[in-house]
Structure 1
Amino acid sequence: MKLKQIERVKKISKSDFISQYVKKQIPVVVEELTEDWPAYHKWKLSYIKEIAGDKTVPLYDDRPVNHEEGFNEAHTTMKMSDYINLLEEKPTNYRIFLYNLMKDVPALKNDFLWPDIGLKLVKQLPMVFFGGENSKVFMHYDIDYSNILHFHFHGEKQCMIFPPDQSKYLYKVPHALISREDIDFDNPDYDKFPALKNAEGYITNLKHGQMLYMPEGYWHYMKYLTPGFSVSLRSFPKNITHLSKAAYNVLIMRHFDILMRKFKGQKWIDYKNEKAIQNTNENLRNEINRLSF
């Protein structure tokens, strides 16, 4: 795949952020946006264990989508203290994904500041994500096509992202927000998935306190290089096409997929995975034919 490093800045004004990145829909890492947050100094795994250790949290692993499981349904639960002990003891595939921890632990709301960066952020409590060493978040894009401010704390994670126009190379599963789950984006099998060679995206590593801006509808694959956790703030898409796609995803696509899982079971999942290969390889053939003329 053709990956380039995401541009980095130490700090940025909101006018420059909007004109240089949001309007152009280009990602950027801002390294020092959180240095005046209490969270910058406090948010380590030990602090989360102390303040939220008694909370029962939903956990996900890397098992493939199964028709018997609900939409974004957790695979198990665990006390936060036990989960953090696990993260610190050894690598684990268990992750916390899209969890509203601040609802359960309101004191955490005092540790972060809504950044004045030019985006009108959705003022719901931020969602958190935790992962152990080498755990991975499958390649996907968000259902609402939002602009995402993704802040990382404690340790380091790698982020691989692709613009929406690269969907044609990523073996997107129909009626879903994911690519084929058997693709190893760290070491792609180009014999099985040849279109990936054409995919053009970005890559970066986030360290404690750094923020990644992901524009509307960007695909993202995350790998925790060390145990750590992240927080995402979001701003609704400004592009009218993206707004319409978000509405379709939320109001139609998700419910259609749930209905088909109910009636066709695993056959529906298998059908979609096969169509992902057929559709992508057809796109690749068409592009090769176009370039040959």
Structure 2
Amino acid sequence: MKLDLQNIPRRRDLSKEDFLREYFHPKKPVIIEDLTSEWPALEKWDFDYFRKKAGGIVVPLYDGKPAKGRENSHGPAMKRPFREYIDILQKGPTDLRMFFFNLLQNCPELVSDFKYPDLGVKFFKKLPVLFVGGEGSRVVMHYDMDLANNFHFNFVGEKRIILYPPSETGLLYKVPYSIVSMEIIDMDDPDLEKYPALAQAKGFETRLKHGECLYIPSEWWHFIKYETPSLSLTLRSLPRSPGKIAEVLNNLLFVRNYDNLMRKMKGQEWIDYKNELAIRRTHRNAGIE
């Protein structure tokens, strides 16, 4: 058995009208290869550039170890100046990642290195964020809690990305009271004997390279493996319908807080209960005894 994945479509010279009609409104992913062709960032953004521009900023770093017991599920493994983190990345493989580095707050002068693309989409311009990871690091399969439409621009290195539409949620071992799949599952090389429902799910994959933009529609699941040390920029378009806004508020105010409360009260017992329930529900959805 293997994962059922097809390549994400690639486009160049994609007009605003075609993007809206073929991808945004139908909620389908696409790689736009030339969207950054006129950005200064295309030539300037590398690790040496950020060492000079943001090297002294202390950043939280996250590793790939699942939270255990009463640990907070969102806590960083350590904090280091950005330049020291870049040194770690360049020494060799590491699972340390940095995410949601807000350029507007930390390095506002770098905002002039890119521009918001004219794709007929309203961007949330207060949150241009960087994601950085070391060779071999992985981001667990998840969808974004704020249900944003993401435009993910890669500038350094290469990463493998797997996507699944919301319709496949029942086959992805979703953990209750969360927006993630079971953290023990490595989607880069999943154990399909142990997690056979994954073989039934229909998804997409790509390898994102320098200068390319991946459009990830709202509520789509995504797994990321950093094939090399990589640095990427994400621009977000937030949901605007009342129903989606209500769902976002529920995720932020209830789901996350309730899960952390139960972790503090029950510790590992709560984590084990959720994982067992994820397996039972998924196998029931897949018709697996």
Question: Which of 142, 164, 179 lines up with 1:162 in the alignment?
Answer: 164
> Against the structure 1 CA distance between its residues 67 and 97, is the aligned structure 2 distance closer, same or farther, given a 3 Å change threshold?
farther
Query: Given that residues 141 and 180 in structure 2 are in contact (C-alpha distance below 8 angstroms), is that contact kept between their aligned partners in structure 1?
Result: yes
Deviation at 1:187, TM superposition (A): 1.6
Aligned equivalent of 1:87 = 89
Aligned equivalent of 1:184 = 186
Pair 1:195-2:214 in alignment: no
TM-score (norm 2): 0.95
Quote the Cα distance in structure 2 between the aligned partners of 1:42 and 1:217. Answer: 32
Aligned equivalent of 1:205 = 207
Cα deviation code 1:201-230 (max 9, x no counterpart): 100111111100001101000111111111
Query: Given that residues 71 and 264 in structure 2 are in contact (C-alpha distance below 8 angstroms), is that contact kept between their aligned partners in structure 1?
Result: no
Deviation at 1:71, TM superposition (A): 4.6
Aligned equivalent of 2:140 = 138
Query: Given that residues 87 and 227 in structure 1 are in contact (C-alpha distance below 8 angstroms), is that contact kept between their aligned partners in structure 2?
Result: yes
> Against the structure 1 CA distance between its residues 186 and 60, is the aligned structure 2 distance closer, same or farther, given a 3 Å change threshold?
same
Quote the Cα distance in structure 1 between the aligned partners of 2:60 and 2:250. Answer: 27
Quote the Cα distance in structure 2 between the aligned partners of 1:252 and 1:125. Answer: 23
Aligned-partner SS, 1:183:
coil
Aligned-partner SS, 1:223:
strand
Aligned equivalent of 1:6 = 8
Quote the Cα distance in structure 2 between the aligned partners of 1:135 and 1:197. Answer: 23
Aligned equivalent of 2:253 = 251
CA RMSD of aligned residues (A): 1.6
Quote the Cα distance in structure 2 between the aligned partners of 1:8 and 1:28. Answer: 6
Aligned-partner SS, 1:107:
helix
Cα deviation code 1:136-195 (max 9, x no counterpart): 111111001111111111111111110011111110000011101111212211111010
Count of residues in Structure 1 that have an aligned counterpart in Structure 2:
287
TM-score (norm 1): 0.93
Aligned equivalent of 1:19 = 21
Aligned equivalent of 2:100 = 98
Which runs of 5 or more structure 2 residues have no equivalent in the other structure?
none
Query: Given that residues 137 and 223 in structure 1 are in contact (C-alpha distance below 8 angstroms), is that contact kept between their aligned partners in structure 2?
Result: yes
Quote the Cα distance in structure 1 between the aligned partners of 2:204 and 2:28. Answer: 10
> Any residues of structure 2 matched to 1:36-51 within 5 Å, and which?
36-51=38-53
Aligned equivalent of 1:228 = 230
Aligned-partner SS, 2:255:
helix
The amino acid of 1:86's aligned partner reads I
Aligned-partner SS, 1:159:
strand
Cα deviation code 1:20-64 (max 9, x no counterpart): 101111000001101111111100111011111111111001001
Aligned equivalent of 1:28 = 30
Query: Given that residues 136 and 225 in structure 2 are in contact (C-alpha distance below 8 angstroms), is that contact kept between their aligned partners in structure 1?
Result: yes
Pair 1:265-2:242 in alignment: no
> Any residues of structure 2 matched to 1:94-133 within 5 Å, and which?
94-133=96-135
> Against the structure 1 CA distance between its residues 238 and 28, is the aligned structure 2 distance closer, same or farther, given a 3 Å change threshold?
farther
Larger displacement relative to structure 2 (210-219 or 105-114): 105-114
Q: Percent identity?
A: 45
Deviation at 1:67, TM superposition (A): 4.3
Question: Which of 68, 71, 83 lines up with 1:69 in the alignment?
Answer: 71
